[in-house]
Amino acid sequence: MTTHVWDYLPEYEKERADLLDAVETVFSSGQLVLGKSVRGFEEDFAAYHGVRHCTGVDNGTNAVKLALQALGVGPGDEVITVSNTAAPTVVAIEGTGARAVFVDVHEADYLMDTAQVEAAVTPRTKALLPVHLYGQCVDMAPLEAIAARHGLAIVEDCAQAHGARHHGRLSGTMGDAAAFSFYPTKVLGAYGDGGAVVTDDDATDAALRRLRYYGMEKTYYVVRSPGHNSRLDEVQAEILRRKLTRLDTYVEGRREIARRYEEGLGDLVAPDGLRLPVTSPGNEHVYYVYVVRHPRRDEIIERLKRHDIALNISYPWPVHTMTGFAHLGYATGSLPVTEAAAAEIFSLPMYPSLPVDVQDRVISALQDVIGEF
Ligand SMILES: *Cc1c(COP(=O)(O)O)cnc(C)c1O
């Protein structure tokens, strides 16, 4: 049987009783939209992060978009981010009417090269949008200094970094606001779509609550436009509330698999051969995806198919090279580190309930295939 890069069914088998009880709790509560479960999850998620506020929204893309809008980003503004990210990061920026400005990433960890950010600041720059990609955090201190110097907001895209830490600080607690996705594959995943924004600032949270609710301050009365209907669903909120109590266990499970991959593949590592993920100084990685790199990536993927092992690429096309973002004006070659990585990276199966025998199959198949080169 072909392996999966990600599969929720083993987790569902283990957690079925609790998850179905969550559904029953909501269905029998008498309130199906913005009820006790959304409020309860918001409180729990804020408490997990030690911040004052959390607003549940309908998905991670809108979490990024509404966070930017709540901080005043709109048409004519620029937001500095990376092209090496999930396209939704940039979809969200465009959704505000602002323009995405890209800097390149570091060769070692594929995260924002913060040394390039200040040169990208213009009078139109309104916000910095670091993406804590793959499960570890961007180096925040240089961004904090740049934001302070130029009066910019910082929004963290934490869609891939639930529970990750940076010099002891939790991902999502380092910016003016932070956006999370609970898409099912994520480190904290719902059984459908979901998202949230956390912030310590009362006014930002008040703005978020209006933005997700048509722009209304009270029912039937709009105070802000454009508004959205971007509420977190009550059933997903109750499921997330239950799963949040297990987040640290999920993260530990991912780290254990990463340790096994490192042990099983370490001898293949070579400067011009296989490269395994590098955890940057001060980071505690949560391994949303386990991204490795090899110059003969495409051959490896082809050959592993014969071992019935499916691999993923996060992401095969840098955002700035996509037709849909051609209007941003970035030529191929303009972000060389991002482009070179996209041609060579691939991801091994990674989810906490990934069976040990599948981990072993992946390791031995890679040993065979790369050993043949
Ligand atoms: C998944 C993801 C998003 C979008 O989240 P959705 O819930 O799918 O809308 C945004 N940014 C990053 C980095 C992501 O990985």
* Tokens linked to 149: 């110097």
Evaluate if residue 272 carries a pLDDT over 80.
yes
SS3 79: strand
Name the H helices within the chain. Answer: 9-27, 36-49, 60-70, 87-95, 117-120, 140-150, 202-211, 234-244, 247-265, 297-306, 336-342, 356-372
Mind giving me the DSSP string for 183-238? Answer: -TTSSS--SS--EEEEES-HHHHHHHHHHTBTTEEETTEE-SSS--B-BPBHHHHH
Q: Residue 345 and residue 291: Cα distance in Å, rounded? A: 6
Position 3 scores a pLDDT of 81
SS3 260: helix
Evaluate if residue 101 carries a pLDDT over 80.
yes
Which residue is closest in CA terms to ligand 1's atom 11? Answer: 89
Q: Which of 92, 176, 182 is nearest to 140 (CA)?
A: 176
DSSP-assigned letter for residue 345 = E
What pairing do the DSSP bridges indicate for beta strands 99-103 and 78-82?
parallel
CB of 159 shorter than 6 A to ligand 1: yes
Residue type, 149: R
- Our measurement of the distance from residue 273's CA atom to the centroid of its chain's CA atoms, rounded to an integer in Å, reads 28
Position 2 scores a pLDDT of 78
CB of 195 shorter than 6 A to ligand 1: yes
pLDDT digit string, tens, across residues 43-72: 999 999 999 999 999 999 999 999 999 999
pLDDT band at 4 (very low <50, low <70, confident <90, very high): confident
Q: How far is CA 349 from CA 123, 158, 308, in A?
A: 43, 21, 12
Say whether pTM exceeds 0.95: yes
pLDDT band at 228 (very low <50, low <70, confident <90, very high): very high
Give the ligand 1 atom nearest the CA of 61.
Answer: 9
CB of 347 shorter than 6 A to ligand 1: no
Long-range CB pairs of 211-215, under 8 A, 24+ apart, other chains included: 211/66, 211/69, 211/70, 212/55, 212/56, 212/57, 212/58, 212/62, 212/66, 213/34
Position 235 scores a pLDDT of 98
For tokens 């029998």, what's the residue? Answer: 28
pLDDT digit string, tens, across residues 290-324: 999 999 999 999 999 999 998 999 999 999 999 99
Q: How far is CA 199 from CA 115, 135, 139, in A?
A: 26, 20, 19
Q: Which domains does the chain have, with CATH numbers?
A: 9-103+111-244 (3.40.640.10), 247-371 (3.90.1150.10)
- Our measurement of the distance from residue 158's CA atom to the centroid of its chain's CA atoms, rounded to an integer in Å, reads 5
Sign of the dihedral through C-alpha 106, 181, 149, 52: negative
Name the average pLDDT for the chain.
97
Position 192 scores a pLDDT of 98
Which residue is closest in CA terms to ligand 1's atom 6? Answer: 60
